[in-house]
Structure 1
């Protein structure tokens, strides 16, 4: 990820890497590679804080130490294959009420998976808890489980009272926090 960022044509950024108590020597290896790089700050947690809290640690560091208008949160396994990606991202236009911008995430049927809208009925509960409640029962009957799962997916409507359009969240490997978010 770092090497692919270093190949970007836009280089006016500061990278914070948070080692969330990985316990595999990553922090030491990263320190060897990047300790002299003024563009990179390495942070290490004393325990695993979880994904969100580790991100918040990096965000807090950047907000305290830099005058920023945007923060781009990316996973460590993300590779930028387009060397103009950050340049394009800096020119991306959005409304004043937008606090975060997420990437496209497409499923195998080429349907958009980001953002996720809050679903509010029994079908949502079944979808979310199917594996926990029913997979052990149907484990020996894999075809039955697969067919019921496919049936539930077909029931999912695109619009209507099933989806509350105004309540959603982003997920994925790259989220841009805008100046509208950071001013809070």
Structure 2
């Protein structure tokens, strides 16, 4: 079975290199290709990637002139992989993830042969040792989208007015999360975007792997909407594992913690509006 890794890079060569090295040093099989998408870094890390390209001929690197965001950047990498290699499996992972299992690909292949999944999500271990998959806070349905649009708009206003202390107070009144067993396989579930596995069966159905209009945020929600709408097979498999260092790209996009919060809220709001319009168009308002 042929695999392609798609890794989106933005101004963090250390993480990207560690991610590549974890693939090359950990995996037993060599039946894969690595595609790096430099998402408009245009800095020293771009130069380092060009140097890497000369040395590592087995790694394909795509250089973009500007940052197109998560969905578009990954879509370009996936299209390149499909056109050049036509793999059975696309593995889209953040550059701040690490492969930690020697039989990572064998486990994916076995699971596909058992289930013929469209999308698979592994157990994602965070730096706090806590699991990040499945995506339990998925936004689905018109009412939930509107509710979250209003919430994000209020949070953004509080942040801009330097009333973010009120936001912290409001957060205390959030519903407590129910206990969840992360060690049980689940089907028909929303999955985290830090590590997603797509079968050929999935990508032959769609022009783009991800909905192509968002910049950052809501990708998992829109993907779940696609899963529900088109009756796709999505599986969370806790026996397949990956490690996630988290938030590297957001930190590079904005310097201060306040800037990071504002950047995040603004892009969440934009993506929620895009999601709302998609939901409205495809469900006749």
TM-score by length of 1: 0.73
2: CA distance, partners of 1:157 / 1:28: 47
Q: Structure 2: how far apart are the matches of 1:62 and 1:110? A: 29
Equivalent in 29, 39, 43 of residue 48 of structure 2: 29
**Unpaired segments ≥5 residues, structure 1:** 159-166
For residues 10-67 of structure 1, what are the alpha-carbon distances to aligned partners after superposition, in whole Å with 9 as ceiling and x for unaligned?
A: 2210111000111222232122124243321011012222111111111111111113
Contact 1:102/1:114 (8 A) holds in 2: no
Give the structure 2 partner of residue 92 of structure 1.
111
Q: Does 1:61 align with 2:80?
A: yes
User: Which residue in the other structure is 1:49 paired with?
Assistant: 68
Q: Is the 8 A contact 2:133 2:191 kept in 1?
A: no
State the match for 1:170 in structure 2.
Answer: 191
Aligned equivalents of 2:48, 2:164: Cα separation in 1:
46
Bigger proportion of residues as helix: 2
Report whether the alignment pairs 1:81 with 2:103. Answer: no
**Cα RMSD, aligned residues only:** 3.5
Please list every run of 5 or more consecutive structure 2 residues that lacks an aligned counterpart in the other structure. 1-18, 180-187, 206-285
CA distance in 1, matches of 2:137, 2:167: 24
Equivalent positions of 1:1-184 (< 5 A) are: 1-7=19-25, 8-93=27-112, 95-96=115-116, 98-105=117-124, 113-114=134-135, 117-120=138-141, 125-126=146-147, 129-130=150-151, 132-134=153-155, 136=158, 142=165, 145-154=167-176, 169-184=190-205
The 10-residue stretch of structure 1 (84-93 or 24-33) with the greater mean CA deviation from structure 2: 84-93
Q: Name the larger-Rg structure.
A: 1
The alpha-carbon distance between structure 1 residues 127 and 148, as it changes in their structure 2 partners (threshold 3 A), is farther
Equivalent pair of 2:121/2:133 in contact (CA under 8 Å) = no
* Residue pair 1:70, 1:182 contacting (<8 A) in 2 also: no
Residues 69-127 of structure 1: per-residue CA shift (max 9 Å, x gap): 1111111111123333233223224534x321123357988685426543447676555
Distance 1:128 1:95, change over 3 A: farther
> Contact (CA 8 Å) 2:121, 2:134: kept in 1 or not?
no
The 1-side partners of 2:125 and 2:20 are apart by 25
The SS at the match of 1:79 is: strand
Deviations 1:119-164 (A, max 9, x none): 447676555643541572896583x64453232223x789xxxxxx
The 1:122/1:52 distance shift into structure 2, 3 A limit, reads: closer
Whole-angstrom CA distance in 2 between matches of 1:126 and 1:24: 39
Cα 1:157–1:76 shift into 2, 3 Å: closer
Instruction: Please give the secondary structure, in 1, of the residue aligned with 2:120.
Output: strand
